[in-house]
Amino acid sequence: MIRKAAQILARQAWFRKLVMSTPIVRELAGRFVGGEDLASALAAARGANARGLKTTLNFHGMHVLDLAEAEGAAQQAMDALVRIREEGLDSNVSIKLTKIGLDLDPAYCQLQLRRILECAAGTGGFVRIDMEESNYVETTLRVFEEMQDRFGNGTVGLVIQSYLRHRAGDLDRLLDRKASIRLVKGGYREPASQVFRSKAEVDAAFNRDIERLLLRGVSPAIATHDEAAIAWTLAVQARLGLGREAFEFQMLYGVRPDLQERLLADGCTVRCYIPYGGDWATHAVGCLRRIPAGALTRFRHSLHLS
Ligand code: FDA
């Protein structure tokens, strides 16, 4: 209920303005986002790189139904690729297909993606396609496979979600194609018919997939803040006799920075996902929701919600 209300609020322009003009909230929210524009996101990436973290930049938002907005999102991705190259940053780009027009017209979206990937190929960059709700999975896989055939693994990769009930075969399908995969638990509210709901079931599926990915994956990425899953990954890596450079951990910008630093100190590769852009408040509110109670109380007081 609170979560739903927070998500609805976060999409309102007046709420975003209120958040941004409330110093303590702005400060707290700012921990989780790169800023409102590409220049701020690049600065965040520069800072992260200086601390030893690789990054991936995401012009935040999804389900765009306006052609100009979808066009603008594609342009953002291309601008990011060019600037990453110009600045020599250790960064790539993550995109959501519904941000660049999948809900408008799949063929148009594919055209947009092709332009982005041509730019990535021309700048030596890499684009990861985020995975969205379950009803987009099959289309996303098909689009990805076509792009992988055209541009290769060094230019485009995909995300696989372990919480999906009926799609365990997708990982094998992509491993057979030697695709570059980011593995996640899965982040959307979905019907129980589509996804595992209990933490135990999701964690078991995630652990199973981590092992499959480490065993056969090309440049595998495990995206999680779950310390048990991280410990499992390291145990599997040691059991398989792999080096720590054989895979990377990925985490959200500003989430568990202590853990990110600890993994770096242990010789792991860590990449953080930096959302930026006008729709950043939705993401920041989602993260604020999960930070410790003390800080959240200060957040609510500053908004006069309690
Ligand atoms: P879990 O949910 O068990 O959380 C472990 C710990 O981390 C908990 O203490 C929790 O509170 C904390 N935590 C987790 N998320 C937090 C947050 N946002 N803010 C503050 N604390 C947080 N999903 C998807 O469906 N498609 C995608 O493309 C992606 N892409 C993606 C990229 C990257 C880099 C990451 C890290 C995650 C994603 N996800 C995603 C989201 C993913 O599916 C999952 O929902 C989150 O990572 C949370 O799950 P954990 O594995 O962290 O475990």
Which one of 16, 83, 130, 271 is the catalytic residue?
130
Amino acid letter for position 206:
F
Cα–Cα distance measured from residue 29 to residue 223, given in angstroms and rounded to the nearest whole number: 21
Non-local CB neighbours of 15 within 8 Å, separated by 6+ positions? 9, 281
Per residue, the 3-state secondary structure of 79-132, as one string, reads HHHHHHHHHCCCEEEEECHHHCCCCCCHHHHHHHHHHHHHHHHHHCCCEEECCC
**Ligand 1 atom having least distance to the Cα of 273:** 34
182 classed as catalytic: yes
- Residues touching ligand 1 (Cβ under 6 Å) are 130-131, 159, 161, 184-188, 223-226, 250-252, 255, 273, 286-287, 290-291
Task: Give span(s): CATH 3.20.20.220, the chain.
Answer: 39-279
Architecture of the domain spanning 39-279: Alpha-Beta Barrel (3.20)
Cα 303 to Cα 70: distance, rounded to the nearest angstrom: 32
User: What is the DSSP pairing of strand 248-252 with strand 218-223?
Assistant: parallel
Going from the C-alpha of 20 to that of each of 28, 129, 188, 279, the distances in angstroms are 10, 29, 26, 12
Q: Could you give the CA distance from residue 96 to residue 58 in angstroms, rounded to a whole number?
A: 9
pLDDT tens digit sequence for 200-248? 999 999 999 999 999 999 999 999 999 999 999 999 999 999 999 999 9
- pLDDT one-digit tens code per residue, 160-189: 999 999 998 999 999 999 999 999 999 999
What's the token pair of residue 212? Answer: 């499959």
Residue of 182, 209, 212, 226 with catalytic role: 182
pLDDT at 172: 95
Mean pLDDT score, 10-38: 76
150 part of the active site: no
CA distance 107 to 229: 38
**Protein residue closest via CA to atom 30 of ligand 1:** 130
Structure-block tokens of residue 19:
């958040």
Which ligand 1 atom sits closest to the C-alpha of 184? 43
Choose which residue among 28, 170, 185 to substitute to test ligand 1 binding: the one with the highest number of ligand atoms within 8 A of its C-beta: 185
Rounded to the nearest 10 degrees, the angle between the axes of helix 23-30 and helix 280-288 is: 90
Atom of ligand 1 at shortest distance to CA of 250?
Answer: 34
Give the pLDDT band of residue 298 (cuts 50, 70, 90): low
